[in-house]
Structure 1
Amino acid sequence: MTTTSDSLSVDESSTSRPAAGHPGIQSLRVARKEVIADGVVRLRLEEPRNGRVPDWAPGSHIELVLPTADAGYLSRHYSLCGDRWDPHAYEVAVLNEPNSKGGSRYIHDQLAVGDMLTVGTPRNNFHLTQATRYEFIAGGIGITPIMTMIVAAEQLGIDWHLHYGGRTRASMAFLGELAEYGDKVTIWPQDENGHLNLAFLNEPLDGGRVYCCGPEPLLNAVAGAAAAWPSWAVRFERFVPATLPAPVRTEPFELELALSKRRITVGTEETVLSALSDAGVRVLSSCNEGVCGTCEVGVLRGTPEHRDSLLNEGERAKNDRMFVCVSRAITDRLVLDL
């Protein structure tokens, strides 16, 4: 989930703080904060009573709720990069984004060891699937979800290679840990070598999978270089939405809620999420940009226009789910599993 910057932030807008007892919300203590590269800090967030945190898998991210100067709150999503078998804590790495509206600046400048943070349950839109070989590609802070995938590939005995680019060596996190893997890792600082060489993607690898996370220009370059690969074999993690054309349908359309039998009209200038909310139907949401996956809803009938940055072509063709913060409808009516 980035533009030319490498921020892992998903949502740059203010949001209300989740209420106590909100499903999937817990309070964790900042147990460690350390600088691991130029402009990058690593946080360890522990359950304060040594209780368990929910389990997670490689590719997962968590939501952090951060206070702002005007007494509001910001919601930010960061990929998990620590030991997934640690039952008591999560770890994330955060880039100090110059164009941030407050999230990364707060973490870098104000957040201190001992502070408590409101944290959401891990979500995963970047699942690691079975393969004969993995080609991992990371740009800048996009290395964070890839680190956990590398550990999993090693444990499973699956062949892999990492191609890791960054502005400078000093700005690239986890170089010490990655050095342990020897020639399985290609380090590619842009100030020394220019852009990553992606020629290795020109020919699809039978049974292979490509996982890429980083700034938008890198994602676009990888998509072009891997054009001959099956779409399901190349997965991207985006932190801001991809640029999309205008919606296919601008006319109002109808929602039918299968469980309650209610019917709701979605107007020309509103989202499915806002129409549901105005009708008193509560759907969890966070980024409002189609990148975090929080607002996923099942589709029982009708054809949605998928405007998210999460589903691949095969997943979209099934038309069995949609992300209601951004996606609309192609047909006159959608029947939702609500």
Structure 2
Amino acid sequence: MTEQSAPFDVRLTAIRYAAQDTNLYEFRRLDGAPMPPIAPGAHIDIHLPNGMMRQYSLTTAEGDPNAYVVGIKKDRASRGGSKFIHDQLKVGTVLQLGGPRNNFPLDEKASHTVLLAGGIGITPIWCMAQRLQKLGASWEMHYSCRERPEVAFIDELSKLPNVKLHIDAESNGKFLDIPGIVAAAPAGAHFYCCGPIPMLNAYEEATKSLPEGHMHIEYFTAKEAAALDGGYKVRLERSGQEFTVPPGKTLLHVLRDAGVDVSYSCEEGVCGSCETVVISGTPDHRDNILTEAERKASKTMMICCSGSKSDLLVLDL
């Protein structure tokens, strides 16, 4: 994961139409300084005036160094994030950004790269495509949307011959053939996917036999329910504090209730802001960030959603 800067003040300087219900939002620092550097796959935290914090992927890593641009789709089931942004944010609004963080980094040395995007999942994937195109790398993209008006960046993508667009409404009800795409890729290819949960589930199934490190995935929402079994203790090594996590509460809730200052944001294990070093104990991992190898090593955990399989968990806090 990339290191993140402390939250900083920005102004919303432009809002541009990208597709049906999807806008591009451009932010610039109030002090005029360059934005922290980013790489494809990075996302930022947007601290909203309504008290919420939401994470959104950056659409370009090599554009204006003084600006960040994110693509945000107005979710019909919005809990107040995307709806607030679309309905309330105006050009000139001042707010704070946190990050950047990158839990979805691009391996630029891959012999061939296969990019798969579904809906608004195109935002980090398009960022990767621009970088690969600039490098002259071997790559292909498969982008699926329910209907054609929902396709973002369509003018730019239509100019690239290695981009294939799949429109569900125009395909006799057939969804993107992910197993076929994986099977047709050359040996040694790296795969990246971001999109809705059904697509990610199909992608995980199709790529389960790939060599370790060749399958990359990013979730926008939690894949697993948070660990709420409780019944274990957590010790904070630096402060010496010890707490019992009861059934029905997450580890994060217990620490917050006790006034412990910890970093967190999404509370679903998808953003990485609460990643904490594990000194001893066996975490019950429920995040969507750590690889299987990282889960087995259990050197870190996401305390917002994960719990403990051991009676005592010792954290570097």
Give the 5 Å matches for 1:120-269.
120-129=98-107, 130-182=109-161, 184-193=162-171, 194-198=174-178, 199-202=180-183, 205-244=186-225, 247=227, 250-269=229-248
Task: State the aligned residue count.
Answer: 309
Residues in 2 aligned to 1:259 and 1:241: alpha-carbon distance in whole angstroms: 30
**Structure 1 equivalent of residue 67 of structure 2:** 89
Report if aligned partners of 2:275, 2:301 keep a CA contact under 8 Å in 1. Answer: yes
User: Does the 8 Å CA contact 2:60/2:130 hold for their aligned counterparts?
Assistant: no
Matched residues in 2 for 1:231 and 1:118: separation? 37
Q: Is the 8 A contact 2:47 2:53 kept in 1?
A: yes
CA offsets 1:251-285 (integer angstroms, 9 cap, x no match) = 52122222233322222222111222233321111
Q: Could you say which structure has the greater relative contact order, defined with CA pairs below 8 angstroms and 6 or more residues apart?
A: 1
Pick one of 67, 77, 89 that aligns with 1:99: 77
Alpha-carbon deviations, 1:140-181, whole Å to 9, x = none? 110000111112222333211100000112111011111232
Tell me the distance in 2 between the aligned counterparts of 1:270 and 1:47.
Answer: 38
The alignment partner of 2:48 has SS state of strand
| Root mean square deviation of aligned Cα | 1.9
Q: Which residue of 1 aligns with 2:6?
A: 24
Q: Which moved more, 1:144-153 or 1:223-232?
A: 223-232
Report if the CA contact (8 A) 1:55-1:84 is conserved. Answer: no
Give the corresponding residue for 2:89. Answer: 111
Give yes or no for contact 1:231–1:313 (8 Å, CA) kept in 2. no
Match of 2:299 among 295, 320, 335: 320
Could you list the runs of 4 or more consecutive aligned residues of structure 1 that deviate by over 6 angstroms after TM superposition? none
Percent identity of paired positions between Structure 1 and Structure 2: 39
Residue deviations 1:103-138 (CA, integer Å, cap 9, x gap): 222222222111112211211111112421111000
- Contact 1:96 1:105 survives alignment (8 Å): yes
Aligned partners of 1:36 and 1:266: how far apart in 2? 45
For residue 290 of structure 1, the aligned residue among 269, 279, 295 is 269
Equivalent-residue separation in structure 1 for 2:145 and 2:212 (angstroms): 26
> Counterparts of 1:123 and 1:186 in 2: how far apart (Å)?
29
Q: Distance in 1 between matches of 2:115 and 2:312?
A: 40
Contact 2:39–2:61 under 8 Å retained in 1: no
TM-score when normalising by structure 1: 0.86
Deviates more, 1:156-165 or 1:230-239: 230-239
Distance 2:230 2:45 in 1: 34
